[in-house]
Amino acid sequence: MPVDDAFARHDMAILYDAFNAHGEDGPFYLSLAQEPCRILDVGCGTGLITLPLAARGHRITGVEPGAGMLAVAKAKPGAERVDWIAATAAEFRSDERFELAIMTAHVFQVFAGDQATLAALANIHRHLAPGGRLVFESRNPLRRAWENWTAEKTRQTAAIDGIGCVEVFYQWRKIDGDRVIFDAVFTLQDTGEQRKSESTLRFPPRETIERLVRQAGFSGVDCCGWWDGSPYRDDSPEIIVTACA
Ligand SMILES: C[S@@+](CC[C@H](N)C(=O)[O-])C[C@H]1O[C@@H](n2cnc3c(N)ncnc32)[C@H](O)[C@@H]1O
């Protein structure tokens, strides 16, 4: 499965953190494991959640197929505490067995269809210790978040060290079944240079997600609708899934 330019290219990955700070999901993921344990962070990106988990004393493995993202993560302070694996969710291999696996910031939505999703979930399941948990989230398709992914509604700027002021906007272009194709367009304001990446995200409904998670071997599947533990409802922004191995 090819990785988007936004994640594969180093000159785009270095822009990621400035526009993707975690909100309430950050404390949610950081507090999932109370005691130090073995954690697998699939699609760990630049390590925004991985590195704080390592700093809390967890033994953590970060799996990431985007070369640019992985290079940014590995250059950060504390990176030596993490086992980094350059691979996709479906292809990574580790001799470790983990008590907790997470996919943060909607990584789950990069899996293009049922087959790709099952391959990823089954591989994660194989790497969990007995009783281990998988926790991830997907945007609720009933909220149609992509309708707000327009240049007018998403344009923002940030000052980035060594690069200067950068503007980004997101624009959805096409709906293909339950998948949304959109562009991320970055402009470096000092030079006018544009860096553009096309992405596709899948928006499966709750029933499909639960079916795939069970099919991959998980049990005890539970869904919340927000980071405070509110139960999932049709108008919830998120489908936050916890499943047991
Ligand atoms: C929106 S970023 C989230 C990064 C990180 N989890 C965070 O919280 O900031 C999505 C990440 O998923 C990664 N990704 C894309 N395809 C993947 C796959 N097949 N398996 C695992 N990760 C993948 C991307 O390279 C990217 O780093």
Tens digits of residue pLDDT in 179-227: 999 999 999 999 999 999 999 999 999 999 999 999 999 998 999 999 9
Nearest protein Cα to ligand 1, atom 27: 45
In the predicted model, what is the mean pLDDT of the chain?
Answer: 97
Residue 49 pLDDT level (bands cut at 50, 70, 90):
very high
Index of the ligand 1 atom closest to the CA of residue 20 = 9
Q: Tell me which residue has tokens 């060594």.
A: 162
Q: How far apart are CA 53 and CA 35, in angstroms?
A: 11
Q: Is residue 173 predicted with pLDDT exceeding 90?
A: yes
Q: Give residue 124's pLDDT.
A: 98
Q: Give residue 2's pLDDT.
A: 81
Tokens of 153: 């509604």
5 CA from centroid of ligand 1 (Å) = 12
Q: Answer yes or no: is the C-beta of 107 below 6 A from any ligand 1 atom.
A: yes
Q: Answer yes or no: is the C-beta of 51 below 6 A from any ligand 1 atom.
A: no
135 CA from centroid of ligand 1 (Å) = 15
Q: How far apart are CA 29 and CA 187, in angstroms?
A: 32
Index of the ligand 1 atom closest to the CA of residue 45 = 27
Ligand 1 pocket: which of 1, 70, 110, 200 to mutate (most atoms <8 Å of CB)? 110
Distances (CA, A) of 118 to 159, 199, 209: 40, 20, 10
Nearest protein Cα to ligand 1, atom 18: 88
Tens digits of residue pLDDT in 74-83: 999 999 999 9
196 CA from centroid of ligand 1 (Å) = 17
Tokens of 148: 């707000």
CATH architecture label of 5-140+204-244: 3-Layer(aba) Sandwich (3.40)
Tokens of 169: 């906007």
Q: Give residue 223's pLDDT.
A: 97
Q: Give residue 89's pLDDT.
A: 98
Q: How far apart are CA 53 and CA 59, in angstroms?
A: 8
Nearest protein Cα to ligand 1, atom 4: 45
Q: What residue ranges do the domains of the chain occupy? A: 5-140+204-244, 143-201
- Other beta carbons within 10 Å of 166: 21
Q: How far apart are CA 73 and CA 46, in angstroms?
A: 4
Nearest protein Cα to ligand 1, atom 23: 43
Q: How far apart are CA 69 and CA 105, in angstroms?
A: 14
Tens digits of residue pLDDT in 147-171: 999 999 999 999 999 999 999 999 9
> Nearest CA to 28 among 173, 194, 241, 219?
241
CB 135 within 8 A of CB 102: yes
Rounded to the nearest 10 degrees, how much is the dihedral formed by the CA atoms of 141, 144, 146, 149? Answer: -150
What's the fold here for domain 143-201? N-terminal domain of TfIIb (2.20.25)
